[in-house]
Amino acid sequence: MSFDIANRLHKTNRIRQGIEKCEARIAELKRTGIGADGRPMTPERWKQLEDNADATDRELFQFQQWQAQGYATGKLSEEEASLLYQFLGRENPTSEKFNKLSLAEKMAITKVMHELGEYFTRGRLG
């Protein structure tokens, strides 16, 4: 799943689309009970998935920096940047708030943040 952050002509909100894709993937995992690796999705594996999607306060600070840069450089539309700003905790981001988001929201936001981070730190898109 790529958010195509290089695309400057945003016709749809890629953050919302990403969340919807993650929700569909999670629903499929719940429906089948089998992970992408062919192993059963046990309660322990669900917990690990949730824990891996959580973010630290330090990560959230960096995410907000990339969100601001993404908007300033046109990699994110105003609507996408505003939505990310809300999800990241507005002017007071904390891991406690972020980690209460749904698994799909955390996964989608983390994905786009990693793509922005890759772009801004290494100058290339994933």
Tracing tokens 């594996």 back to the chain, one arrives at 45
Distance CA 80, CA 19 (A): 12
At 6-44, the pLDDT tens digits run 555 556 899 999 999 999 999 999 999 999 899 999 999
pLDDT value at residue 118: 92
Distance CA 46, CA 95 (A): 19
Which of the 8 DSSP states describes residue 34?
B
- Which pair of tokens denotes residue 3? 């958010």
Contacts (Cβ under 8 Å, ≥6 apart) of 87? 15, 98, 101, 105, 109
pLDDT value at residue 8: 52
Q: Which residue has the higher pLDDT, 126 or 115?
A: 115
**Whole-Å CA distances, 119 to 14, 47, 73, 112, 114:** 17, 30, 11, 11, 8
Distance CA 5, CA 18 (A): 12
Distance of CA 43 to the CA centre of its chain: 23
